[in-house]
Amino acid sequence: MIPNEAKKRLIQIVGAENYDDTKAGRLVYSYDATPQFQSLPDAVVAPRNTQEVAEIAKICNEYRIPIVPRGSGTNLCAGTCPVEGGIALLFKHMNRILEIDEENLTATVQPGVITLDLMKAVEEKGLFYPPDPGSMKISTIGGNISENSGGLRGLKYGVTRDYVLGLEVVLANGDIIRTGGKLAKDVAGYDLTRLFVGSEGTLGIVTEATLKLIPMPETKQTMLALYQDLEAAARSVSKIIANQIIPATLEFLDQPTLEVVEDYARIGLPTDVKAVLLIEQDGPNEVVERDMKKMADICRSEQAVSVELARSEEEAEALRTARRAALSALARLKPTTILEDATVPRSEIAKMVKAINEIAAKYQLKICTFGHAGDGNLHPTCPTDARNREEMERVEKAFEEIFAKAIELGGTITGEHGVGAMKAPYLEWKLGPAGIAAMKAIKQALDPNNIMNPGKVFAKSTRKRVVVTR
Amino acid sequence: MTSKTDQALIQKAFQERMDEDELMNCMRCGFCLPSCPTYIESGQQEAQSPRGRIALMKAVVDGLIEPDEEVERSLRLCLGCRACEPVCPSGVRYGHLLEEARDIIAQHQRMPLHIRLVRKVVFAGLFPHQERMRKAASFLGWYQRSGLRTLVRKTGLLRLLPASFRQMERVLPDVPTAKELKNRPHRLNPDGSAKKRVAFFAGCLMDTMFMTTNDATMRLLQLAGCEVIIPPAQGCCGALHGHGGEKELAKELAKRNIAAFEQLDVEYIVTNAGGCGAFLLEYGHLLKDDPAWRDRAAAFAARIKDISEVLVELGFHHLPLRVAPQTVTYQDSCHLRNVMKTAAAPRRLLQAIDGVEFREMKDADRCCGSAGIYNLVEPEMSMKILDYKMEMAKQTKATTIVTANPGCLLQMKLGIERAGLTESVRAVHLVDLLLEAAEGAQAAKEEERIRQTS
């Protein structure tokens, strides 16, 4: 509950129209795209500028009210679920592209800008902002930064982190700080920019960001390689990289995923093969030609049954859109879709795919696998039904084994979705007690009262998948 | 305001009637958000998005919240345009959820007397009865022609009405006279040899206020080589009832239509209004719990086809078509596009007309804000959506805006008026423009023949 005094002061800052504590108003900010998680905020607050955010932080710090910053709520680790209540902080008013600097190749934006809108705006100037999370049509830049979102181009271009040059951040005590700037080089002290990127709103509230842009590649080609053997597809991935080709996109979809994606997209994807690779290269014409030819040869040498180039940009875009929708399309199979985000070094892709299939068989589950094969980031996904408790327990155990296997292969428990509330119980597997302690020390220093998105990253208990409601 | 007791009844009905699997299928990915006009125009309020509305419906079922004023407001403000359905990767049938929820609320709500009266007149007294529709239309025609309209407008009497009704009065089409409002022929022969035998769904409003468009539709079918059957026992499709929380009445109307058409030996049942077509297409779902009608409804629905699809299939776009040079843009009817999946055919037909320079407007597939009687009951949101639409239309510099649904057509006329473009821009139904083009080509040919012989 928000004390009356605090409520009054919050309304004074943002205005009554930007403060909502009706039951329905709170309920619609009680979830994000994470299956199963749901918890009500005590109020929903929509500030109009950085100064207001700072004032809000001060009040919340004083009254120990949790703050959960929220973009479009598309994240998959319960990062925007207010698991300990407090206020859901919306950025719908702070959604302007402040500047596109063509001399320095940077864009300065407010956190509420939709990722695709930024991409389009810079494209108009012949520039390119590569991070492209699957939900880019609706996800916000602020959310991308907080979760350090990846996407289909991660292999060649990296992830959101690699494009954040500077930030304006409101700290828990209301201080406003600036990190980095329009600079390629900057070693003045600790790299706070990198610290805040991917900190999932637990260290501060990003209120402005300066992003790196690059020139638009000259050309782009897309192809689809089809396989009757899952592991042959995975081997092709390792072999392409080992041949020193870094494609822009190297995506993997297995047969069950293909089927549901085709059911949604209806673009004529083959559904009678065991796996496909969606491969793209961009860059200068001759490089793209050469790389595409080489990759096609590699795929054929690994028993691809067919390798086909997209005939037009429309066709290529349809393929990419279909891939981006894979996760949600899997929800067609069963009422509940549990997806994970295990990542391994790309040389271990084949082993990981094999292990996932064995684990699925062991627990008698259907687990579909797709993902960013090129960067080793896989999304094993289990269509199930939350009402079937017995099966849910098997799902839980299966995924525990999958995470353990990923770590055993030198991988991690999440490659791009974040820890949030969902992976918190497993974080120590990856970091060890000392690693956790180091992170906690940073959190303690910046947010001593633990008001910034509490209940995320660090596990409070061993409790895992539950529907939390306040 | 709904009382606590009524809320409890609504909640119970939600638990009994809402499709839990469908609610659970929404995995809250948010892919629907950018397609939702009310989410965008409300300044990104989650409660005004499909994801938010589904969450609210589910929360009522789960007992997490009561169906209070906020929940009702959220469901009321939805246009029902269903733009969220084609973009939903999980395939959630949002329209069905909304229809059910609205029906439950409407059936349990104690509405003020005047609203109940209006609903009774519209839903039960008027729309299901075609002869009364004709009488009402002829009264409207009399009002328009007798000088009363001029008088009313001059004396400022209209100011007694809410602004939304006032605006609507201005753009209503000139209705045919009582004499012209005729009973339909039962059968029409094709021009030339018959390529297909089809039935025509005449509709209620379409067959009175928009009678000329219906006449044009049948004429086009004849030109395309169709024998057209128009069964007299048909009536209103029930869409207005279905969307307005009067599901039982909608079912009655559906049964009447199924019975009227099912014995006919025709390939298609042709519609010319996206709103009606989409509702007819979903009769199977509407009657899914009625074993005696379920299969009959599905068989009926399987034959529904929009006029534009039929014309393209019959190669109408290869006939000579000509209009005076003009720039044309097309406004999708939401239900035609999102439910009947017809988007390419109308464009293809338009592009086949000599003299037409076709320019696609940005977000042509976004709702225009008409949405049945939404523009009358939620004028503020409706006009916001319409003003955006007109801005997009303006950017194409089109002088003709084409639609394929009567509601959209009126809304476009309203938009043209609001934007001060009455002098330079017109709105027409696709079939009216097509007939104009077919006759235009015919006249040109005739002219050419006269020139050559003289």
The reply to whether residue A25 touches residue B44, judged by beta carbons under 8 angstroms, is no
B88 touches chain A (CB under 8 A): yes
Residues written for chain B: 454
CATH of the domain at B375: 3.40.50
What percent of chain A shows pLDDT beyond 70?
Answer: 98
What pLDDT does B294 receive? 95
Query: Which residues contact residue B205 at a Cβ distance below 8 angstroms, ignoring those fewer than 6 apart?
Result: B127, B133, B406
Q: Is residue B451 part of a domain?
A: no
User: With an 8 Å Cβ cutoff, is A328 touching chain B?
Assistant: yes
3-state secondary structure of B95: helix
The reply to whether residue A137 touches residue B34, judged by beta carbons under 8 angstroms, is yes
The pLDDT value given to residue A469: 41
Answer yes or no: is pLDDT of B174 > 90. Answer: no
Q: Does the residue B414 lie in any domain?
A: yes
CB contact under 8 A, A28 and B47: yes
Q: How far apart are the first and last CA of chain B?
A: 76
Task: Label residue A201 by pLDDT band (50, 70, 90).
Answer: very high
What is residue B42's predicted lDDT score, i.e. its pLDDT? Answer: 95
- Cβ–Cβ below 8 Å for B28 and A469: no
pLDDT for the residue numbered A468: 38
Q: What is the pLDDT of residues A407-428, one digit of tens each?
A: 999 999 999 999 998 888 889 9
Q: Is residue B299 domain-resident? A: yes
- If asked whether residues B286 and B384 sit together in one domain, one would say no
For all residues of chain A together, what is the average pLDDT? 92
Among A residues 105-164, those touching chain B with beta carbons less than 8 Å apart = 114, 135, 137-139
Q: How far apart are CA B32 and CA A376, in angstroms?
A: 29
Q: Does A327 touch chain B (CB under 8 A)?
A: yes
Per the CB < 8 Å rule, is B90 touching A138? no
DSSP string, A260-283: HHHHHH-S----SSSEEEEEEEEE
In A, minimum Cα distance to B74 occurs at A24
Average pLDDT over residues A102-128: 97
Examine the pLDDT at A38 and tell me if it is beyond 60. yes
Structure confidence by residue, pLDDT tens digits, B185-215: 999 999 988 899 999 999 998 999 899 999 9
Q: Is there a domain that residue B51 lies in? A: yes
Looking up tokens 């690994």 gives A302
Instruction: Give the span between the Cα atoms of B350 and B317, in whole angstroms.
Output: 8
B26: distance to nearest CA of chain A, Å? 8
Tell me, yes or no, whether B102 and B25 share the same domain.
yes
- Both B67 and B123 in one domain: the answer is no
Given a contact cutoff of 8 angstroms between Cβ atoms, the answer to whether A402 and A413 are in contact is no
pLDDT value, residue B317? 96
Chain segment A292-308, per-residue pLDDT in tens: 999 999 999 999 999 98
Say if A349 is an interface residue toward chain B (CB within 8 Å).
no
Is 80 exceeded by the pLDDT of residue B161? no
Asked if the model's pLDDT at residue B1 lies above 80, the reply is no
Indicate the pLDDT class of residue B134, thresholds 50, 70 and 90. confident
Residues B222 and B255 in one domain: yes
Our measurement of the distance from residue A227's CA atom to the centroid of its chain's CA atoms, rounded to an integer in Å, reads 28
How many Å apart are CA A192 and CA A181, to the nearest integer? Answer: 12
**Statement: the pTM of the whole predicted model exceeds 0.90:** yes
Residue B43 touches partner A, C-beta closer than 8 Å: yes
Q: pLDDT > 70: what percent of chain B?
A: 100
Q: Which of B60, B86, B108 is the last residue of a domain?
A: B108
| Number of alpha helices (DSSP H) and beta strands (DSSP E) in chain A | 15, 18
Q: Which of B264, B268, B266, B263 has its CA nearest to residue B281?
A: B268
Domain limit, last residue, from B108, B127, B146: B108
Give the separation between CA B348 and CA B439, rounded to whole angstroms: 19
pLDDT reading at A466 higher than 60: no
d(CA B266, CA B229): 8
Reference A107, options A262, A232, A193, A212; nearest CA is A212
Return the pLDDT at A63: 98
DSSP strand pairing (B400-403 vs B426-429): parallel
Same domain membership, residue B79 and residue B32: yes
Least reliable range by pLDDT among A33-42, A68-77, A157-166: A33-42
Where in A8-118 does DSSP place strands (E)?
19-20, 43-45, 67-70, 87-90, 97-101, 106-109
pLDDT at A13: 98
B55 to chain A: nearest residue by CA?
A28
Question: Which domain range does residue B366 map to?
Answer: 318-441
SS3 state of residue A98: strand
Across the interface, do B28 and A33 touch by the CB < 8 Å criterion? yes
Higher pLDDT, A389 or A56: A56
Range B281-306 average pLDDT: 96
Domain shared by B82 and B50, yes or no: yes
d(CA A455, CA A177): 24
B31–A contact, CB cutoff 8 A: yes
Secondary structure (DSSP) of B368-410: -S-TTTHHHHSHHHHHHHHHHHHHHHHHTT-SEEEESSHHHHH
**In the predicted model, what is the mean pLDDT of residues B86-97?**
93
Q: Is residue B177 domain-resident?
A: no
Which residues make Cβ contacts (< 8 Å) with residue A118, sequence separation at least 6?
A97, A107, A109, A129, A141, A211
Fill in the amino acid letter for A321. T
> Which pLDDT belongs to residue B435?
97
Are B74 and B189 part of one and the same domain? no
Write out the two tokens for A368. Answer: 């579909």
First-to-last alpha carbon distance for chain A, in angstroms, is 10
Taking the C-alpha atoms of residue A433 and residue A207, their distance in angstroms, rounded to an integer, is 32
Q: Cα(B325)–Cα(B353) distance, rounded to whole angstroms?
A: 10
| Confidence band, pLDDT 50/70/90 cuts, at residue A461 | low
Is B90's Cβ below 8 Å from some Cβ in A?
yes
Q: Closest approach of chain B CAs to the CA of A328, in angstroms?
A: 5
Q: What pLDDT is stored for residue A297 in this prediction?
A: 96
Taking an 8 Å cut-off on Cβ atoms, the answer to whether B55 and A92 are in contact is: no
Cβ contacts (< 8 Å) between B74 and chain A: which residues?
Answer: 24
Residues B293 and B337 in one domain: no
Return the minimum-mean-pLDDT range out of A188-197, A221-230, A258-267, B293-302.
Answer: A258-267
Distance from CA of B62 to the nearest CA of A (A): 12
Best CA proximity match to B272, nearest among B156, B432, B157, B149:
B432
Whether residue B234 contacts residue B202, with contact meaning beta carbons closer than 8 Å, is answered with: yes
**Three-class SS state of A380:** strand
pLDDT greater than 90 at residue B170: no
CA distances from B221 to A356, B188, B307 (A): 58, 9, 8
DSSP A412: B
- Tell me the mean pLDDT in the region B288-309: 96
| Partner-chain contact A335 B25, CB within 8 Å | yes
Question: Same domain for B308 and B331?
Answer: no
Q: Are residues B268 and B354 in the same domain?
A: no
Same domain assignment for residues B31 and B90: yes
Q: Is residue B290 part of a domain?
A: yes
Burial bucket for residue A33 (CB in 10 Å: 0-12, 13-18, 19+): buried
Place of tokens 């999932």: A200
Q: What is the pLDDT of residues A340-380, one digit of tens each?
A: 889 999 888 889 988 999 999 999 999 998 888 888 899 99
Among residues B92, B108, B124, the one where a domain terminates is B108
Beta carbons within 8 Å of B263's beta carbon, 6+ residues apart: none
Same domain, B338 and B404: yes
- Judge whether B453 lies within some domain: no
Collect all residues with Cβ–Cβ distance below 8 Å to A194 and sequence separation of at least 6.
A161, A164
Domain annotation covers residue B95: yes
Q: In what order do the strands lie in the sheet with A87-90?
A: A19-20, A43-45, A87-90, A67-70
B60 membership: H or E segment, kind and range: helix B50-62
Q: For residue A274, how far is the Cα from the chain centroid? A: 27
> What confidence tens digit (pLDDT) does each residue in A156-179 have?
999 999 999 999 999 999 999 999
Interface test with B, best of A23, A27, A320, A385 (most B CBs within 10 A): A27
Domain count, chain B: 4
